[in-house]
C-alpha cells in the first residue's frame, strides 16, 4: 500500500523557518515524481515545488523561489521542503504527492496519484 506521511508543520513568526518532511512507504521515491502542494483557506490547492525522478531536477513556483528548497534522502525514502523567510501568505495546509507515471515533475495536481494527509503551516505577522 502506498502511503505518504507529512510532518514538520507548525506555527512560526514571519521571517522564520520550518522544514517539512514527507515519508513514503509502499514505493521508492526515486521512481516517482514528487510534488509539494499547499491549500490556504478559501483558496484552491497550488503547486509549490516538485522533483523529477528522471534526473532529480527541482522546480519551484515563483511565489517560493529563493526561499524554499526541495531535497530528498533516498536511504530514508523521505523528501523535505525547507522553508525559509516565511511570510503570512505561506499559511496553508501543505501536502506531498507522488506521480507514479511521471519522470518529469509538474505543479499540476491532476498528474499526481497519491497524496499525504497534509500538515498545517501557520505564519504569524
**Burial of 115 by CB count in 10 Å (0-12 exposed, 13-18 middle, 19+ buried)?**
middle
Query: What percentage of the chain reaches a pLDDT higher than 90?
Result: 86
Residue 3 has pLDDT above 90, yes or no: yes
| Residue 5 cell numbers, joined | 506521511
Residue 102 has pLDDT above 80, yes or no: no
- Phi and psi at 92, nearest 5°, equal 180, 170
Q: Give the pLDDT score at 101.
A: 85
| Residue 54 cell numbers, joined | 528522471
8 Å CB contact between 80 and 19: yes
Amino acid at each position: 500500500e502506498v502511503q505518504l506521511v507529512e510532518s514538520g508543520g507548525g506555527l512560526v513568526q514571519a521571517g522564520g523557518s520550518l522544514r517539512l518532511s514527507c515519508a513514503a512507504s509502499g514505493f521508492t521515491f526515486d521512481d516517482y515524481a514528487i510534488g509539494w502542494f499547499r491549500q490556504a483557506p478559501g483558496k484552491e490547492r497550488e503547486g509549490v515545488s516538485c522533483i523529477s525522478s528522471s534526473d532529480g531536477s527541482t522546480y519551484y513556483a515563483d511565489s517560493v523561489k529563493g526561499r524554499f528548497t526541495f531535497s530528498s534522502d533516498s536511504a530514508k525514502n523521505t523528501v523535505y521542503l525547507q522553508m525559509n523567510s516565511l511570510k503570512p501568505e505561506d499559511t496553508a495546509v501543505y501536502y506531498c504527492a507522488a506521480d507514479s507515471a511521471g519522470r518529469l515533475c509538474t505543479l499540476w495536481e491532476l498528474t499526481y496519484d497519491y497524496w499525504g494527509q497534509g500538515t498545517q503551516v501557520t505564519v504569524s505577522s
